Amino acid sequence: KEKAQMQRTISAMVGKGSVNHNSRKFKAENVDGSRTHLNIDYCNEPIKKTYHELFDEALKRYNAKQTRADRRIENYYEKIRNSKQEKTFHELILQIGDKENMSAESENGKLARQILDEYIRRFQERNPNLKVFSAHLHMDEATPHLHIDFVPFTTGSKRGLDTRVSLKQALAAQGFKGGTRGDTEWNQWVSAEKSVLAFVMERYGIEWEHKGTHEKHLSVLDYKKQERATELEKLGAKIEKNKLNLMFYPSEC
């Protein structure tokens, strides 16, 4: 008789974005200090530094076009911080299973650490419009989980700065257009990221358990198909480019 495959849920939550807590500059009561050395810190850049890197050039271009001094922006970070439309950054928390079946102190917890670590390694590559400035894997709480903090940005904007903060436009640039109220860009993107995590879990012999959720999931099979379609699309574009190169720049031999 075949051994039943392990099944685990995937939890994706919007975090509060307490960077000092995530980097353990401040320790909450639920943190076990004896296990903090097992945490993984991927990056922990000051958010203002990230804003300078992303937006300083666009801010210069924007201010240079303004004929009225009161239209110029002195500090883009402060402008967004006081904005009602956008947040300065967003946080995603991801977890496999719960404290009953994936306790951080158990062998399953070590497995969760491996999977989450593998998952996040290509997060930035998958999400070029979400600039990650703080990312941490926590093993010193009840269940292993990831905190990923990022600044969403769009380029080539006709309104305001040509490179500016926009969650909606950042996700749209990555192919998540949004639909009904329950099918927002964020929900579509989170669903896709869960599918990526499920794809990694599957390689470690863990099946994604859908428990009490009505959201539309991209199955692991669909995810594989989507990945293959993307690969073929890139390959097609490369072939077309090579054809054009041959047309306009024929080889001498």
pLDDT of residue 63: 97
pTM metric for this prediction: 0.80
pLDDT of residue 230: 61
pLDDT of residue 212: 63
Q: In sequence order, what are the residues at sequence separation of 6 or more whose Cβ sits closer than 8 angstroms to the Cβ of residue 60? A: none
Whether residue 45 contacts residue 134, with contact meaning beta carbons closer than 8 Å, is answered with: yes
Whether residue 165 contacts residue 86, with contact meaning beta carbons closer than 8 Å, is answered with: yes
How far from the centroid of its chain's Cα atoms is residue 52's Cα?
20
CA distance 104 to 111: 9
In CATH terms, the fold of domain 6-214 is: BirA Bifunctional Protein; domain 2 (3.30.930)
The domain spans of the chain are 6-214, 219-253
124: buried, middle or exposed (CB in 10 Å: 19+, 13-18, 0-12)? middle
pLDDT of residue 33: 80
pLDDT of residue 30: 73
> For 176, what's the count of Cα atoms within 13 Å in the CB-facing half-sphere?
21
Span between the terminal Cα atoms of the chain, in Å: 63
Per-residue pLDDT of the chain (253 residues; tens, 9 = 90+): 344 479 999 999 988 877 666 655 656 667 778 788 889 999 999 999 999 999 999 999 999 999 999 999 999 999 999 999 999 999 999 999 999 999 999 999 999 999 999 999 999 999 999 999 999 999 988 899 999 999 999 999 998 999 999 999 999 999 998 777 778 899 999 999 999 999 999 999 999 998 765 444 444 455 555 666 666 665 655 554 454 444 333 333 3
pLDDT of residue 26: 55
pLDDT of residue 232: 62
Q: How many helices (H) and strands (E) does the chain have?
A: 8, 8
pLDDT of residue 192: 93
Q: Shortest CA distance to 15 belongs to which of 216, 153, 190, 165?
A: 190
pLDDT of residue 5: 77
CA distance 152 to 47: 12
Whether residue 197 contacts residue 121, with contact meaning beta carbons closer than 8 Å, is answered with: no
